[in-house]
Amino acid sequence: LLLLASATPSVESFTAAKSGKYSLFVLKNRYGSAVLPQVRTVDMKKEILSGNTLDISRELCGAISDTLSSKKQAIILLNRRGKNTYISCPQCGYVLSCPNCSISLTYHSANNRMMCHYCGYSAPSGGKCPNCGGEHLKFLGAGTQKVEEELNALFPKARVLRLDADSTAARDSYAKRLDEFANGEYDILLGTQMVAKGLDFPNVTLVGVLGADSATYSDDFRGFERTFSLLTQVIGRAGRGDSAGTAVIQSLNPDSELIELAARQDYEGFYNDEIMTRKLMIYPPYCDICTVSTRSFVKSEAQNAVNEVFANIKSLLQGEYSDIKTIILGPAPAAVPRVNNKYRFRMIIKCKNGKRFREMLKKATEIKQKGDVTVTVDINPETVI
């Protein structure tokens, strides 16, 4: 017997359940006498226009104050670590980037360094703009370290616990810190997605979500699903005990249907919308997804390799494997074109995964263009970015 249990199952799993491939059992009520939290949304555009320069809205600030006065606890979710998510020169507009990767550097206040979250590169903060020599760099965007500073300034008597990849690097520190929060040693738990799921703290009556819609702007077709799941799960952390819960969702687009569905904990409503989009765009569960990626220290070698694989696939599909139906997107540079000094190209293949398709792929990836090129095939990956 295999039991899959989730308040937010994947679209593919729920489709399998609705079609009878899995048996479906729906629990319509929360455990015990707990009721769903009251959810309020905050338009951060209005907050900015009204002069609030903080990342914490006035509404959330008031809710935190009420929670602390009631001797209850709060969880704040921001799915970005570090203090500032990018550093820019106001004179020329240049954004400081990792020398090894095509990604901006994140400022970490704990060690006063600029860091790359892809390859681990770090450098002291400050200095001049490497593009124009400007001396007044701007630190922009908010991560968990910045919000931690805001919480400490707004609520100096509150005990704030930050949980992210930086604060839990030591062995067993994640479990230890959660135990400390459960035991009442902290008033506010601030963290990335690691605080969103599977936690049961009866004394938590408030959940705040910052940047609720940021993940919906990604290139991944699962971006909406991930955002809905994250919001639904973290909202469910509030009011699990005897006291009623409240959730405050901050967004630049508070009228988004996705946020409204998450606020209502309406999984079936989300599923009905998402499955229509998946069918229209031909994405899982209406097909399988295969990514073919090439990596090399030499850009031309990685590009030539992916082009060769693409040509091989076209040739095979027109010949011995003409019975296989596919839709090929690309080849093109990856969403992050260079990581750790390796250039990356990819193509996305919409297909029906089967023995002949895998056989065709094996032949197509036997390329002449070698060098230091790495070719990777991933069928039904978690992300296509």
In a domain, 209, yes or no: yes
Instruction: Read off the pLDDT band of 34 (50, 70, 90).
Output: low
Residues 61 and 186 in one domain: yes
pLDDT band for position 100 (50/70/90)? very high
Q: Return the CATH number at 235.
A: 3.40.50.300
Mean pLDDT, residues 205-221 taken together = 83
Q: What CATH number is associated with residue 320?
A: 3.30.70.600
Looking at beta carbons, which pairs linking 58-66 to residues 24 or more positions away fall under 8 Å? 59/248, 60/208, 60/248, 60/250, 61/154, 63/206, 63/208, 63/246, 63/248, 64/151, 64/154, 64/155, 64/158, 64/188, 64/206, 64/208, 65/155, 66/206
Q: Are residues 308 and 198 part of one domain? A: no
Largest CA distance in the chain: 73
Same domain, 172 and 232: yes
The answer on 351 and 273 residing in a single domain is: no
Enter the pTM of the model: 0.87
Amino acid in position 40: R
Query: How much is the pLDDT for 281?
Result: 95
Instruction: Over range 205-215, report the average pLDDT.
Output: 86
Is 3 within the bounds of a domain? no
Asked whether residue 328 is domain-assigned, the answer is yes
Does residue 59 sit in the same domain as residue 78? yes
Kindly state whether residues 253 and 310 are assigned to the same domain.
Answer: no
Per the domain annotation, does 30 fall within a domain?
yes
Q: Are residues 244 and 313 in the same domain?
A: no
% of residues, the chain, pLDDT over 90: 58
Let me know whether 251 and 366 are in one domain: no
Give the tokens for residue 140. Answer: 């922009």
Is 113 inside a domain boundary?
no
Query: Are 374 and 293 within one domain?
Result: yes
Q: What is the mean pLDDT of residues 111-139?
A: 88
* β-pair partners for 97: 104
58 and 165 share one domain: yes
Domain count, the chain: 2
Mean pLDDT over each residue of the chain, to the nearest integer: 90
Pick the last residue of a domain from 225, 255, 280: 280
Domain stop point among 280, 301, 316: 280
Q: What percent of the chain has pLDDT over 70?
A: 97
Which of 222, 255, 280 is where one domain is finished?
280
pLDDT at 105: 92
What one-letter code names the amino acid at 3? L
Range of the domain at 322: 288-379
In a domain, 315, yes or no: yes
Hey, how many other C-beta atoms are within 10 angstroms of the C-beta on 32? 10
Going by their DSSP bridges, the two strands 122-124 and 138-140 should be labelled as unpaired
**Residue 222 carries which DSSP code?**
T
If you average pLDDT over residues 178-207, what whole number do you get?
Answer: 88
Q: Indicate if 74 and 210 belong to the same structural domain.
A: yes
**150 and 23 belong to one structural domain:** yes
CB 131 within 8 A of CB 92: yes
Q: What is the pLDDT of residues 284-340, one digit of tens each?
A: 999 999 999 999 999 999 999 999 999 999 999 999 999 999 999 999 999 999 999
Domain assignment of residue 58, yes or no: yes
Q: Does residue 384 fall inside a structural domain? A: no
